Amino acid sequence: MTPARPVALLDLDGTLMDSAAGIVASVRAAYAGVGLPAPGEDVMRSFAGPPIAWSFTTHGVPADRLDAAIAGYGEHFGREGVWDTRVFDGVPEALTTLREAGVLLVVATAKPTRWAAPICDEVGLTPLLDHLVGAPDDESQTKGDIIGRALTWVRATTGDAGYRAVMLGDREHDVHGAAEHGIPCLGALWGYGGEDELRAAGAAAVLTSPVDVPAAVLAHLAG
């Protein structure tokens, strides 16, 4: 019998890339555009990762201004913020180690594909990945929905061999989204969520550095 293919589902913002600066600038522009005071810097950094509509709603944007805030964010981010990002130190090496171990690497991000794919191209991540699944342009899907789409691709790719998977992410949405599909999630403490958030959400473990990723991913896939 062919062994099940090991799969790592990977969040993007706050896990593979530090994109906070561009996101914060675009969030600030969005609040100004709808005539609302922007929240503090720490709150705006928390917009990195979750679906943007959830973040605006959670942080004071009323329903009648939500569409305008999302549009304002998108306009600014697509023009400026999208490129203000960098890959976290140690991430390329971690991905290379996992691929050499035969792990299928699939990004599952709440960032719309129209931004996520060119960013990965620009920063050199694309050659290290097997596939990328992002949010639709209207950002209407939850993280669980996006992970589900990623797993649909995985099932089509692995076929009869099947797969065993683990998620890596920095926010509670990654943990909860993975849990919807029965997948454990490893928490990335170098991102934007923090240890308390990740443990409260039910992360299988929390990692302090990208250096820790290969061993932790392989251990959970083996278990």
Which segments of the chain have a pLDDT < 50?
none
Q: Are residues 162 and 76 in the same domain?
A: no
DSSP secondary structure code for residue 81 in this structure: G
Q: Is 145 a catalytic residue?
A: no
pLDDT recorded at residue 79: 84
Nearest to 165 by CA among 176, 175, 151, 152: 151
Dist CA 217 CA 223 (whole Å) = 10
Within 10 Å of residue 156's Cβ, how many Cβ atoms? 8
Dihedral class, residue 60 (left if φ above 0, else alpha if ψ from -120 to 50, else beta): left
Number of domains present in the structure of the chain: 2
Q: Are residues 71 and 159 in the same domain?
A: no
Task: Single out the residue in 34, 66, 83 at which a domain terminates.
Answer: 83
Q: Are residues 64 and 140 in the same domain?
A: no
Q: Are residues 78 and 97 in the same domain?
A: no
Q: Work out the burial of residue 129: count CB atoms within 10 Å of its CB; fewer than 13 is exposed, 13-18 middle, 19 or more buried.
A: middle
Q: Are residues 96 and 203 in the same domain?
A: yes
- Which CATH number covers residue 35? 1.10.150.240
Dist CA 89 CA 211 (whole Å) = 9
Q: Are residues 9 and 33 in the same domain?
A: no
pLDDT recorded at residue 1: 59
Q: Are residues 172 and 120 in the same domain?
A: yes
3-state DSSP assignment of residue 59: coil
Nearest to 181 by CA among 154, 206, 161, 158: 154
pLDDT recorded at residue 139: 67
Q: Which of 11, 13, 174, 212 is catalytic?
A: 11
Q: Are residues 53 and 92 in the same domain?
A: no
Q: Which domain holds residue 132?
A: 5-18+85-222
- Which CATH number covers residue 136? 3.40.50.1000
3-state DSSP assignment of residue 75: helix
Q: Are residues 25 and 9 in the same domain?
A: no
Q: Are residues 94 and 142 in the same domain?
A: yes
Record the pTM: 0.85
